[in-house]
Amino acid sequence: MTITDTLTQLGTKVETPTSPETAVLETVPYTRVEGPPAIVRFTCPEFTSLCPVTGQPDFAHIVIDYAPDKMLVESKSLKLFMVSFRNHGAFHEDCTVMIGRRVVEATKPLWLRIAGYWYPRGGIPIDVFWQTGTPPEGSWLPETGVAPYRGRG
């Protein structure tokens, strides 16, 4: 049984963090089994942040795939972290990479990749990709499931 005594957000009412920097990503222990590592996917099709120049909202479909080693990111804390970007002004590239780096910092996975498919503003969609290295040998890596821009949606 997984011990969850240290979790502070799961099962309680928690205010939305005011910024990604103050958001807490919590983890739970994970025991890997023999064979190729499992790949865990989180999909956030309604991600929002703010343009740092205009203050206008930016929208993205974020896909995070990672191969956990000893820790899993707790999903409620990840949701709160993702929501904390709603009032955060940063460029698409910075938001996408910041999310990936924070999950890596919290879980220390064997591998992680993140894809940020940003909806167009000014007629140009921006897709941002980042990963920590070579995918684990023998693991099944699905496509991110988001088609190249053609009126995405």
Catalytic residues: 51, 58
DSSP-assigned beta bridge partners for residue 46: none
| Residue 151 to residue 153: CA distance in whole angstroms | 6
DSSP 52: T
Q: Enumerate residues 6+ apart whose C-beta is below 8 A from 69.
A: 30, 32, 37, 107, 108, 109, 110
Output phi, psi for 97, to 5 deg.
-70, -35
Positive or negative, the Cα torsion across 97, 61, 40, 71? positive
| Residue 126 to residue 132: CA distance in whole angstroms | 20
Q: Residue 74 annotated as binding?
A: yes
- What does the chain come to in residues? 153
Q: Residue 93 annotated as binding?
A: yes
Q: Residue 88 annotated as binding?
A: no
Q: Which residues are annotated as a binding site?
A: 73-75, 92-93
Q: Which residues are annotated as a binding site for substrate?
A: 73-75, 92-93
